[in-house]
Chain A
């Protein structure tokens, strides 16, 4: 019984480790300074620092939507990779982002994505992006991702 629990624990730790490696090996996510804060069981939290190079509106200093898209996409992919069904790979099929308000200049942006359903080949994801104001999301996203399962032996 204990052995079985150990096996389960190990595989969960391995999955988390795998997912972390998956994200840290993404050149563009690294270029944007993304940091993995939490991951596991189909949920991922990734944050990105404010950086003047990523400004989209020079008169307000607000970060470009494109940088928020990159964060949402990475976080969505990470959530899929951490799903208990343990996919071996994923790619975005589509991603819709609603921009609810401008992110406050100078603040870190934190995305939380949840892979809320998977089929044999598709994963469905919801995500929100927040700055220091936890009660008013900056953006929300919904997306479909491919769900590549390991070939059965």
Chain B
């Protein structure tokens, strides 16, 4: 029986893997999207900024920002969940960037106005096969019960090295 790893070692490894993933994408940095991690569960956070506005009269967050936020959340969740077991076994190579899935299509439902404040999102991988994956994602602001946008996307998975 192996002694369990100290919790701090596990946390450091997981946080480093997530940071590497998120910081490698310039557009995620540009929008300022951050990820909170609780175990394997990720919550994306989009801190409000004035230049995210799409309708200055309301004011409301730009639909394109919402779409981008949902797509970023989906791709990170998909990459994160597919590298999870490799990461836990210490097989992740810290020097190379993880290969990213490619978006095939992405459909956004705008349910409510995106208000000028922080937004949150969580994605669920409904199916992840060898080549294709289907992901659903929901975003909310102050109140988790009042989702302001949701999306479904299909993704082409990067080829796995172990075939």
User: Which residues of A line the B interface, CB within 8 A?
Assistant: 25-32, 52-59, 63-67, 69-74, 77, 91-99, 102
Q: How far is the CA of A42 from the CA of B51 in the complex (A)?
A: 27
Residues of chain A with a CB closer than 8 A to B107's CB: 94-97
Residues of chain B with a CB closer than 8 A to A59's CB: 97, 99
Q: How far is the CA of A72 from the CA of B55 in the complex (A)?
A: 16
B103 contacts A by Cβ under 8 Å: yes
Known: A58-B25, A73-B63, A96-B108. 9 other contacts (CB 8 A): A28-B51, A29-B54, A52-B26, A55-B25, A55-B27, A59-B97, A64-B25, A66-B72, A96-B105
B residues 72-125 in Cβ contact with A at 8 Å: 72, 97, 99-100, 102-110, 113
Residues of chain B with a CB closer than 8 A to A31's CB: 51
B147 contacts A by Cβ under 8 Å: no
Supposing A96-B105, A97-B105 touch, asked if A53 and B64 sit within 8 A by C-beta, the answer is no
Q: How far is the CA of A52 from the CA of B109 in the complex (A)?
A: 28
Nearest residue, chain A, Cβ from B67:
A69
Q: How far is the CA of A59 from the CA of B54 in the complex (A)?
A: 30
Chain B contact surface mostly: mixed
Q: Are B68 and A26 in contact (CB under 8 A)?
A: no
Smallest beta-carbon distance B147→chain A, Å: 14
Q: Are B50 and A27 in contact (CB under 8 A)?
A: yes
> How many cross-chain pairs have Cβ atoms below 8 Å apart between A and B?
130
Number of interface residues of B (CB under 8 A): 38
Shortest Cβ-Cβ A-B pairs, 6 listed: A70-B64, A66-B68, A64-B27, A69-B67, A28-B62, A96-B107
B163 contacts A by Cβ under 8 Å: no
Nearest residue, chain B, Cβ from A72:
B64
Q: How far is the CA of A77 from the CA of B62 in the complex (A)?
A: 11
Q: Mark B50-72, 1 if CB is under 8 A from A, else 0.
A: 11111110001011110111011
Q: Of B71, B97, B104, B105, which one neighbours A58 at CB under 8 angstroms?
A: B97
Nearest residue, chain A, Cβ from B64:
A70
Q: Are A64 and B100 in contact (CB under 8 A)?
A: no
Q: Are B54 and A26 in contact (CB under 8 A)?
A: yes
Q: Are A26 and B62 in contact (CB under 8 A)?
A: yes
Q: How far is the CA of A30 from the CA of B65 in the complex (A)?
A: 13
Supposing A26-B55, A52-B26 touch, asked if A69 and B68 sit within 8 A by C-beta, the answer is yes
Supposing A28-B62, A64-B68, A66-B67 touch, asked if A95 and B105 sit within 8 A by C-beta, the answer is no
Q: Are B26 and A54 in contact (CB under 8 A)?
A: yes
Smallest beta-carbon distance A61→chain B, Å: 9
Q: Are A94 and B105 in contact (CB under 8 A)?
A: no
Q: Are B25 and A56 in contact (CB under 8 A)?
A: yes
B18 contacts A by Cβ under 8 Å: no
> A55, A66, A97: which has the most chain B beta carbons within 10 Å?
A66
Supposing A26-B54, A58-B25 touch, asked if A97 and B106 sit within 8 A by C-beta, the answer is yes
Task: Write 6 A-B pairs (CB below 8 A) sorted by A numbering.
Answer: A25-B56, A26-B54, A56-B100, A94-B110, A99-B102, A99-B103
